Amino acid sequence: MNWSVKSEKGFGGMTGGRIIQIFIATVVLTSCGNPSPFIKLNDGKCSNEQRGQIANHISGQIKALAAGNFKGAYKYAADSFQQNIDLQQFSLIISNQYQMLISYQDYTFGDCVVEQETLVQDVDVVSKDGNFTLTYQLSFEDNKLGVLGAIIKSKSSDLNL
């Protein structure tokens, strides 16, 4: 018995074998897709998967800022943020109010919760200017995570007397 596919030109000039390959690839790719952990945001603690993706996102922005790459850091901002704040304004805000992110020595992630479809992540930052706790607010817009803003919650300085 011969199981070979005829090489007659079929749909769009493709051979039957090529059509089958494309079909199989499509089935495999669509069945492997994991739904985003941000599609349905219920109030409460973030899931481990959400925490991981949020940490990666914020880390990317912080590392870009520390490298002086404001344009790269701006890309981590939510679309709705970018519609209201342009790159020049973003750069000024960071330079004037968030110097600790540019000169950080270390940072760690604290609590993460979902509040009214906003992801809220605490980040403890150690910089030459002291220790800071920032509360990041992120959204999931158009299937993409984005930073809406960060509030400086607290600052502590080490005093050496």
Name the strands in the sheet holding 130-141, side by side, starting at the edge strand that comes first in the sequence: 44-45, 104-115, 118-127, 130-141, 144-156
pLDDT of residue 2: 45
CB count, 10 Å around CB of 18? 16
- Contact between 112 and 41 under an 8 Å Cβ cutoff? The reply is no
pLDDT of residue 13: 58
Instruction: Single out the residue of 2, 7, 4, 29 nearest to residue 18, CA to CA.
Output: 7
pLDDT of residue 62: 97
pTM for the complete prediction?
0.73
Mean pLDDT of each 10-residue bin along the chain, 161 residues long? 46 54 43 56 86 96 97 97 97 96 96 93 94 96 92 71 42
Fold of 44-156: Nuclear Transport Factor 2; Chain: A, (3.10.450)
pLDDT of residue 141: 86
